[in-house]
Amino acid sequence: MRTRNAPETRRRILAAATEDFAAHGIAGARVDRIAAEAGVNKAQLYAYFGDKQGLFAAVYRLHAAAIVDETPFTVDDLPGYAVGLYEAAQRRPDVIRLLAWARLEGVDLPMNADAVRDKHDAITDAQKNGRLDATASPEDVLALLNAAALSWSVVGLSPTSETDHERRKAALRHMIAQSF
């Protein structure tokens, strides 16, 4: 029997839930299966996360935060940001599957409002100072950056070779540089 260690228990639940949600979606994921894989009972799982939606939200926040943390945003290098996001998505296909399942099942994803607001503010400042084209709103600029960076992952096109990977990064860098 395992000793009680709340952070470790939470980590095991989130790891098991990540696998189950990524493989089966929100509707197809099973709390019984997640609890068994994590070595906990359902009551513990519910005590930590409330319900299956709360668990999914925690899983998504965990992985989305990891991508945000490993992909620094610099308004003066939007192509570099887009390429970094592309690379992070290639390293973390589980996050892309979670995103796809959430969209398919109509789930509003929890966002880090501070991180989004900071990016919007940086884009707004750069537009006011003439460093970025002001044709698109800051919200649209960020949405377009994210969509472009994640486009290959969302449609399930993994690079088949390093040449494909490098070609895609070069195309992404060029397109973003020309667009903003």
Does residue 21 carry a pLDDT above 80? yes
pLDDT value for 40: 96
- The residue with greater pLDDT, 4 or 56, is 56
Q: How far apart are CA 107 and CA 24, in angstroms?
A: 15
Q: What is the pLDDT of residues 84-143, one digit of tens each?
A: 999 998 888 888 888 888 888 877 776 778 888 999 999 999 999 999 999 999 999 999
pLDDT value for 110: 64
Answer yes or no: is 1 within a domain.
no
Q: How many domains does the chain have?
A: 1
- Give the CATH number for residue 56: 1.10.357.10
For residue 70, what pLDDT band results from cuts at 50, 70 and 90? confident
Q: How far apart are CA 166 and CA 17, in angstroms?
A: 33
Answer yes or no: is 12 within a domain.
yes
Q: Report residue 140 as tokens.
A: 């649209």
Calculate the dihedral angle through the C-alpha atoms of 168, 174, 178, 180, rounding to the nearest 10 degrees: 70
Q: Which residue range forms the structural domain that includes residue 91?
A: 6-179
Does residue 150 carry a pLDDT above 70? yes
Nearest one of 148, 62, 68 to 115, comparing CA atoms: 68
Answer yes or no: is 120 within a domain.
yes
For residue 12, what pLDDT band results from cuts at 50, 70 and 90? very high
pLDDT value for 2: 53
SS3 label, residue 88? helix
Burial (CB < 10 A; 0-12, 13-18, 19+), residue 77, is middle
- The residue with greater pLDDT, 62 or 109, is 62
Average pLDDT of span 27-50 = 95
Answer yes or no: is 15 within a domain.
yes
Answer yes or no: is 172 within a domain.
yes
In the predicted model, what is the mean pLDDT of the chain? 89
Phi, psi angles (nearest 5°) of residue 20 = -70, -45
Answer yes or no: is 85 within a domain.
yes
Does residue 160 carry a pLDDT above 90? no
Q: What pTM did the predictor assign?
A: 0.80
What single letter denotes the amino acid at residue 62?
L
Average pLDDT of span 28-55 = 95
What single letter denotes the amino acid at residue 92?
R
